[in-house]
A and B are shown apart, each in its own frame.
Chain A
Amino acid sequence: MGDARFVSLVGPSGSGKSSLLRAVIGLQQPLSGTIEIELARSQVGILFQDDALLPWKTARDNVALGLTFNGMERSRAFAEADAWLARLDLVGFGDRHPRRLSGGQRKRVALAQVLAMKPRLILMDEPFASLDAIMRARVVKDVVALVEREGISVLLVTHDLEEAISLSDEVYLLSQGPRAHITQHYPVPIPRPRDPVHSRTHPAFAPLYERLWADLSREVDQRVEAA
C-alpha cells in the first residue's frame, strides 16, 4: 500500500477481493505468496459487509468487546465505548440491542467497535453495500472524516467504482479470477480533506471513472469470452 492512506480494490466478482482482505487479517491462508504487514494484529481492524454484531449484547457491550479482549478493565472499556458511540452520533443508544437499531445505526456501532481498538489500518469488505443511499452517504462521510482525522489507513473492497474513486487515494483493479492479479493502478488526484459527495464533481472524477469502467468492462468481457 505504500504511504497511501485510502486504497480501494475493485474487480470482477470472483477476483478474490474479499479473500485478500481475509488473508490480511488472518481468517484464511493465502493459497500462494505471502502477506507482508508491519502492523501488529491488534492494529488491524476489519469491517465486514454485514455488521456481525453480537445480537445478545447491547451496542455498548459490542463496542467494548475488543477492548476487554485486549485486557482493558470493564469499566474503562465501557467508558471508551460510550465515548466512541458519542463520536458516531449514537448518544443514548448504548443500551440497545442490535435488533432495536436501524441498519445505519448498526453500521455505526460496528464502526465504533473497530475504531475503539485504535487500529492503524482498517480493512473494509463492502461495508456500505447494505445501506440505502442516504444512510450510506452519511455513514461514508463520517468514515472519511474519522479516518482522515485519526490518521488511519483503509483498504476498501468494493464493486462501486464511484465509491472507490471518491474515497481513495489509489484504486487498484484486479483481473478476472482464478489466479487474479492486479492489472492497473490509478492514483486519484482529488485533494484532501474531501467530502465524498462533492468529490464526485471534481474535474478529475469523470475521466478516471471512464477509464476504470472501460478497464473493468474489459476484464468482465474476458471472462465471458473464456466461458
Chain B
Amino acid sequence: MIGDPRYAWARQLAALAVLLAVWEAAGRADLLNPMYAPSPSRVAAALVELFSDGRIWPHLEATFAAALGGLALGIAVGIVLGVVAAGVRFVAELLEPVMTVLNAIPRVILAPLFVIWLGIGLASKIALAFILVAVLIFFTVFTGIRQVDRRLIERVVTLGGGRWALVRHVYLPSVAAWVLGNLKIAVGFAFTGACVGEFVAATHGLGYLLSFAQSTYNAALMFALILLILAVVLLIFGVAGRLEKYLLRWN
C-alpha cells in the first residue's frame, strides 16, 4: 500500500530511480554539462572501466591497507592509553590535555606533517588513520572506565570478587561494549584518514585517484570513485555492525 511504513524502502528506491532517470534524460538532452555533472550512464561506464582493466585493485588495496592498519593500531593504542590513563593519575594528567587538544582540532590537518615525517608511502596514511581513531578510542575507554557503574563494582565486591574479578567481569566487558559501540565511527574515521592522506600526497589509493580525477577535470571518474568509497565503507560498516550485534547480544 502507498502509505505503509513497511514499504518505505520501496518508495525511497523509486524516488532514487526517478532522480537518476531525470538526471540521465537531462544529460542526454544536453541540459547538463558532462564536465560538471556527468550522466549516470557515464559514471557507470567509468566505474566499469576501473574494474575491467584491473587497475583499480592496487588502489583499493592501498586504501584498505591504510584504513585497516590505522584502525587496528588506533584501537589497540587507544585502549592501552585509555586504560593506563584511567588507572594512573600521573599518566592522565599528562595525556588528557594532549588528547583534548588533538580531539578539538580537525586532525586531518596533520596530514602534510605526516608526509614530511613518513614520506608519501603507506606509512603516512596509516599514521593519519591511526591518529583519527586513537584519539576517539582513547576518550571512549578513558571516560568509560571512570564511569563504570559503581553498583556493578559493589555487587562483585560484596559477592567476594577481588581485583582480578573486577577487571574480568566488570571493566573488561564495559570497555569492550564502549569500543564496539564506537566501532562504526572508528571505521569511518579510518577511511577518512586513509583517503585524505592519499589525497595530500600518494602514488596509490582511492584518495590518490580522486586527486588525479580532480587534476584532469574528470567528473565521471570522481563520481565513480565516490560511489566506490561509499560502497567500501558501507561494506565495512556492515561487518562492524554484525560484530557489534554479536558481541553485544546481551544488550
A positions within 8 Å CB-CB of B:
25, 27, 41-42, 45-46, 48, 50, 52-58, 65-66, 69-70, 97-99, 113, 117
Contact residues in A for B155 (Cβ distance below 8 Å): 48, 52-54
Q: How many angstroms from the CA of A113 to the CA of B165 in the assembled complex?
A: 16
Minimum CB–CB distance for A148 against chain B, Å: 23
- The 5 A-B pairs at the shortest CB distance, nearest first, are namely A66-B159, A97-B250, A52-B155, A69-B160, A52-B151
Given that A54-B152, A54-B170 are contacting pairs, would A69 and B159 also be in contact in the complex, using a CB cutoff of 8 Å? Answer: yes
B positions within 8 Å CB-CB of A:
149, 151-152, 154-162, 165, 169-170, 173, 177, 249-251
**Contact at B250–A99, with CB atoms within 8 Å?**
yes
The chain A residue with its CB closest to the CB of B250 is A97
**Contact at B161–A56, with CB atoms within 8 Å?**
no
Main secondary structure on B side of the interface with A: helix
**Contact at A27–B157, with CB atoms within 8 Å?**
yes
Contact residues in B for A53 (Cβ distance below 8 Å): 155
**Contact at B151–A70, with CB atoms within 8 Å?**
no
Given that A52-B151, A52-B152 are contacting pairs, would A57 and B169 also be in contact in the complex, using a CB cutoff of 8 Å? Answer: yes
Given that A54-B170, A55-B251 are contacting pairs, would A69 and B158 also be in contact in the complex, using a CB cutoff of 8 Å? Answer: no
**Contact at B251–A25, with CB atoms within 8 Å?**
no
Minimum CB–CB distance for B180 against chain A, Å: 11
Minimum CB–CB distance for B155 against chain A, Å: 4
**Contact at A69–B177, with CB atoms within 8 Å?**
no
Q: How many angstroms from the CA of A158 to the CA of B215 in the assembled complex?
A: 75
**Contact at B250–A55, with CB atoms within 8 Å?**
yes
Q: How many angstroms from the CA of A42 to the CA of B159 in the assembled complex?
A: 7
Given that A56-B177, A99-B251 are contacting pairs, would A41 and B160 also be in contact in the complex, using a CB cutoff of 8 Å? Answer: yes
**Contact at A45–B161, with CB atoms within 8 Å?**
no
Minimum CB–CB distance for A127 against chain B, Å: 13
Given that A97-B250, A99-B251 are contacting pairs, would A50 and B158 also be in contact in the complex, using a CB cutoff of 8 Å? Answer: no
From A25, A55, A58, A99, residue with most partner B Cβ within 10 Å: A55
Minimum CB–CB distance for A117 against chain B, Å: 7
The chain A residue with its CB closest to the CB of B174 is A56
Minimum CB–CB distance for B172 against chain A, Å: 10
Contact residues in B for A99 (Cβ distance below 8 Å): 250-251
From B149, B155, B161, B173, residue with most partner A Cβ within 10 Å: B155
Contact residues in B for A117 (Cβ distance below 8 Å): 159-160
